[in-house]
Amino acid sequence: TSCDNFRIDIQGKGSHGTYLEEAFDPIAAGVLIYQQMSQFIAREVNPNQVATLTFGQFTAGNSSNVIPDTATMQGTLRAYDESLRSNLKERMNQIVSAIESMTRCTIKLDFYSGTVSLTNDPELTQKVIKILEETQPDLLCNFGEKMMASEDFAEISMRVPSTYLMMNCQVPGNSFTHHHPKVEFDEALLPLGMKAFVEIAIRLIK
């Protein structure tokens, strides 16, 4: 899918917990943002389309009885369709503007990096499948499955015919996924991946 990393900076007005009426609470604003953005994906995206919005950071304050001045949120937005991707980003800005007005906080939404959805060229992909079936018949290949992961290689696939391959190097018994600190990869499988790439390159050059 495409992937847009975003950061939300909330500037409120801090206060002692006793004097709530004097504060513009950035935590309350952040909670509203989280709730509304999590909900609008479920309510506004066609079930036949796919999109996800994930928050991975929500940071604010350092005391139990003080409302802080600021809060920070970070997350990712993913979608297959470019039109949907654009519409969701627009809706996120609208939600931020509405909550900014409600809470009297100053809120900035920044999409600071992103990539398009990766697309495999059908003709090239069929050639790659045939090469793998002929040269490495023992490999168990799974083609055509969509994934919500994103990849910078997508920018290349927008410019030249491309096929993206992934290899399962999971260690038996290790069920952790990518980016988890306890994930393990079976490096003994790397030669198989290297052989696949070499065979594909040689056959396509001929």
- What CATH architecture is 2-114? 2-Layer Sandwich (3.30)
Query: Chunked in runs of 10, what are the mean pLDDT values of the chain (206 residues)?
Result: 92 89 93 92 85 94 93 94 91 96 96 84 89 82 72 82 84 83 87 88 88
Q: What is the pLDDT of residue 68?
A: 95
If you write DSSP's letter for every residue of 159-173 in order, what string do you get?
TS---------BPTT
Which 3-state string (H, E, C) describes 114-125?
A: EECCCCCCHHHH
H or E, element range at 110: strand 106-115
Phi, psi at 65, each rounded to 5°: -125, 25
Side-chain-facing half-sphere of 100: CA atoms under 13 Å:
14
Q: What is the pLDDT of residue 49?
A: 86
Q: What is the pLDDT of residue 165?
A: 82
Q: What is the pLDDT of residue 113?
A: 81
> Going by CATH, does the domain composed of 122-205 fall within 1.10.287?
no
What does the domain layout of the chain look like in residue ranges?
A: 2-114, 122-205
Nearest alpha-carbon partner for 58 in 10, 97, 14 = 10
Question: Could you give the angle at which helices 82-103 and 26-44 cross, rounded to 10 degrees?
Answer: 150
**CB under 8 Å to 147, separation ≥6 — which residues?**
1
